[in-house]
Amino acid sequence: MDLDVPQHVLRFWETKFTQIKPLKRGGGRRYYRPEDVDLLRGIRTLLYHDGYTIKGVQKVFREQGVRHVSEIGREEYAAELAEAEAAGEITEPAIEEDVAPAPEPAQHVAPAPFPPVPLTEDQQIELELLLEELEGLKAKLENARAATWF
């Protein structure tokens, strides 16, 4: 699920909430870990849904802590998932008997030019974030297509 928050807003929040600590890459790119995304969802919920001001959210951080705001974010995410499932936007994975059998492997396969290298934790996080972003974009595209068909 997408945060639906513009990039410049995320950057602004980073200046107002020191609790947000994305991984920073070359070229100024930022990658938000799952705990950062929960925190951002919590901030978004407090600001956009509950009507808090920036100072109000800062007070929540001081008085109730990061875990409280993250929990708000996790609850919001669970609610978004439930809503998407109810709307039919998320499909269940195919059960095994519905899956076509895998093709037989080729008899003569050339060896890989380089042995596979395991992903680092940062690379895994980056791939998960990219996948989440792509899934969000796919859902938006499907919604846009559905809205144009009568």
Q: Choose the weakest-confidence range: 12-26, 28-42, 91-105.
A: 91-105
Rounded distance between C-alpha atoms, residue 119 and residue 121, angstroms: 7
Q: Choose the weakest-confidence range: 8-12, 86-90, 127-131.
A: 86-90
Q: What is the pLDDT of residues 27-50, one digit of tens each?
A: 878 888 888 999 999 999 999 999
Question: Residue 137 pLDDT more than 80?
Answer: yes
Distances (CA, A) of 142 to 3, 130, 147, 150: 17, 18, 9, 14
Domain boundaries, the chain: 7-90+127-148
Task: Give buried/exposed letters for 42-68 (b at 16+ CB in 10 A, else e).
Answer: bbbbbbeeeebeeeebeebbeeeebee
Distances (CA, A) of 134 to 2, 46, 109, 120: 9, 26, 32, 21
pLDDT score at 115: 65
Mean pLDDT of the region 120-125? 84
Residue 44 · residue 5 · CB < 8 Å: yes
pLDDT score at 112: 56
pLDDT score at 144: 82
